[in-house]
Amino acid sequence: MSVLIKNGRIITADADYIADIFIEGETISTIGKNLTVKADTEIDAAGKLVMPGGIDPHVHLDMPFMGTFSSDTYETGTRAALYGGTTMVIDFVLQKQGNSLQAALDEWKGRSDNNCVGDYSFHMAVTDFNDETKKEIQHFIEQEGITSFKTFMAYKGALMIDDRQMIGLMEEVKKHGGLINVHATNGDMIDYLVQKHRGEGKLSPLYHYLSQPEVTEAEAAERFVDMANYTGCPGYIVHLTCEGALNAVRNATKRNQNVFVETCIQYLIIDASLYEKDFEGAKWVMSPPLREKKDQATLWAGINQGMVQVVATDHCPFMWEQKLMGKDDFSKIPNGHPAIENRMELLFSEGVSKGKITLNKYVEVSSTNAAKIFGMFPRKGTIAVGSDADIVIIDPNEKHTLSVATHHMNVDYSGYEGWELTGKVKTVLLRGEVAIDNNECKVQKGYGKFIKRNKVKQVI
C-alpha cells in the first residue's frame, strides 16, 4: 500500500516548506518537490497544512475513578482522537494500593488490547511504592516499554502518595532511565478545604474550585521540583494551570534543572467564571480546576518562552448522569472533562489563527515535544524519511462549529458547545493508512497499536 500527498505545506517543529510526501507501508519513504512516483492513493493537499499527527500524552479511557468509569472506551476515545487529528494517545494504568504494578497493567490490557483504533501507550501510575513495587520498575522500563511513572500528590485516601514514597520512586526510576509525571497539588490542603466547605453546607460546583486555590498547586509544584532536583530524576508536571506553579518551575530552571511542563487546552481558553453557572458548572469540574484570565496569559507566554512544552487534554469524560452523582455535593462529581477530539482544532483556532503561537510552535506542543519527552522521537512527532506516516492535513481557513451533535466522543454534552473555530482537520493518516477522510473513519478497532517507548534520553 502506498500513498502520495501532493503539494501540501509541510510544517514540522522546525521547518515550513511545500513538497510531496511518498509513503510506502507504514512509514515515509521520500519527501521532495514534484515527485512523479505512482501510488495506490494520491491526496491533493494544495492550500492545506500537512503536519505530524497529534500526540495527546494525557488521557483517561475506560478508567475506574470516583465510583464510576470514564465514558469513552479505548475504541470510542481513540477514534474520536483520530477525527480530531490526534493519532496517538498515552493513557494511565492505575496501580491498586496493596497490589502489584503488573496486576494493574494486566487489568488495563484487558480493556485496551485489540480495542484501539488509534495508536496508544501507557504511563504507569504508582499509588503504593514499597519494596515489592520497587522491584518492578526496571522491568516496566526495559521490557514493557513503559518508561514514565505517574504520581499523585493529591486525591488523599485514594491515589495520593507521600513524599517519602515519591523520593524512593524517583531514585529507582532515575536509576533505570525513566521519568516521573506528577499531578502536583497539595492533597492535604485540598482535603482540608473540601471538608471545611462541606461542613459549612457549601456544596455547589463553585466550591470544587474554591477548594483548590492557586497556592495548593504552586506549593506542590515547588515541592516536586525540589525533590526532582535532589534525586536528579527527570520530572514532568501534568496539567499545570497557573502562574504560581509555573513560577516554581521558572525558579527551578535558574538552577539549570530540566523539568518538563504540560498544560491542557482548557486551561488556555476557558476560565473559572464557568463555575458560577450553578450545577451546569459540573461540566468543568476537573482537578486542578479552571483558573483566571491572568493564568491563561501566563500559560500562553510560557508556551512561547519554551517553559511549557506540551498541550494535552487530560481527557476524562463522564456522561451527564454520572456528573449528577455530585448534584448535592461537589466532592462526589466525577472529575474530568472531554476534549480528546477538540484539542488540535481548538489549539489551532485559538492559538495559530488568533496569532498567539506560530505554526512551528503548534506542531512542537501538540506533537513533537511529547514524542521527544516520552521516548518516541523520531518514529513519532515529525515528518521525516523513516518516521511513521502519522499525518494530519488541516484546512487553515475552513470554519466550523463544535457541538455534541457532531462530535464522536462518548459523552452527551460538549464543554465547547457552539464554539466557532477557524481551521479544520480534513484528512488523517495513521502509519500509512488513511484513517479519517471527509469526516469518515476508515480504520477499525484493533488497528491502533501499543507503542513501546524508549528510555528518556532526548532533552528538548
Q: Which residues bind Zn ion (CB under 5 A)?
A: 183, 314
Report the residue closest to Zn ion, judged by CB: 183
Residue 452 has which C-alpha cell? Answer: 513501546
Distance CA(262)–CA(180), nearest Å, equals 13
State in angstroms the smallest separation of the CB of 60 from Zn ion. Answer: 5
336 binds, among ligand URP, Zn ion, none (CB under 5 to 8 A by kind): ligand URP
Whose cell is 510506502? That residue is 24
* Interaction of residue 286 with ligand URP, rule CB under 6 A: yes
Integer distance in angstroms from the first to the last C-alpha of the chain?
34
| Angle, vertex CA 418, rays to CA 412 and CA 424, nearest 5 | 95
Q: What DSSP string runs through 139-169? A: HIIIII---EEEEES-STTTT---HHHHHHH
Cβ closest to Zn ion, residue 92 vs residue 419? 92
Residues 414-453 that bind ligand URP (CB under 6 A): none
Distance CA(74)–CA(334), nearest Å, equals 19
Residue 63 has which C-alpha cell? Answer: 478508567
Cβ closest to ligand URP, residue 118 vs residue 336? 336
State in angstroms the smallest separation of the CB of 137 from ligand URP. Answer: 21
Cβ closest to ligand URP, residue 125 vs residue 430? 125
Cβ closest to ligand URP, residue 28 vs residue 189? 189
Cβ closest to ligand URP, residue 83 vs residue 92? 92
Residue 400 pairs with which residues in a beta bridge? 421
Phi then psi dihedrals of residue 124, to 5 deg: -100, 115
Distance CA(432)–CA(390), nearest Å, equals 7
* Interaction of residue 123 with ligand URP, rule CB under 6 A: no
Cβ closest to ligand URP, residue 127 vs residue 287? 287
Q: Tell me which of 263, 287, 296, 414 binds ligand URP, using CB under 6 A.
A: 287
* Interaction of residue 90 with ligand URP, rule CB under 6 A: no
Length, in residues, of the chain: 460
Cβ closest to ligand URP, residue 336 vs residue 338? 336
State in angstroms the smallest separation of the CB of 415 from ligand URP. Answer: 12
State in angstroms the smallest separation of the CB of 58 from Zn ion. Answer: 5
CB 120 within 8 A of CB 58: no
Report the residue closest to ligand URP, judged by CB: 335
Cβ closest to ligand URP, residue 153 vs residue 347? 153
Helices first, then strands: H and E counts in the chain: 14, 19
CB 411 within 8 A of CB 338: yes
State in angstroms the smallest separation of the CB of 255 from Zn ion. Answer: 26
Residues 345-404 that bind ligand URP (CB under 6 A): none
Q: Tell me which of 75, 172, 314, 364 binds ligand URP, using CB under 6 A.
A: 314
State in angstroms the smallest separation of the CB of 93 from ligand URP. Answer: 13
Spell out the residues 6+ positions from residue 22 whose beta carbon is closer than 8 angstroms to its own. 2, 3, 4, 28, 29, 30, 31, 32, 35, 37, 39
- Residue among 402, 329, 340, 323 at smallest CA distance from 118: 340
* Interaction of residue 335 with ligand URP, rule CB under 6 A: yes
* Interaction of residue 60 with ligand URP, rule CB under 6 A: yes
Q: Tell me which of 81, 166, 316, 365 binds ligand URP, using CB under 6 A.
A: 316
Phi then psi dihedrals of residue 11, to 5 deg: -120, 125
- The letter for the amino acid at 229 is N
Cβ closest to Zn ion, residue 314 vs residue 350? 314
SS3 80: helix
197 binds, among ligand URP, Zn ion, none (CB under 5 to 8 A by kind): none
- Which stretches of the chain bind ligand URP, using CB under 6 A? 60, 183, 286-287, 314, 316, 335-336
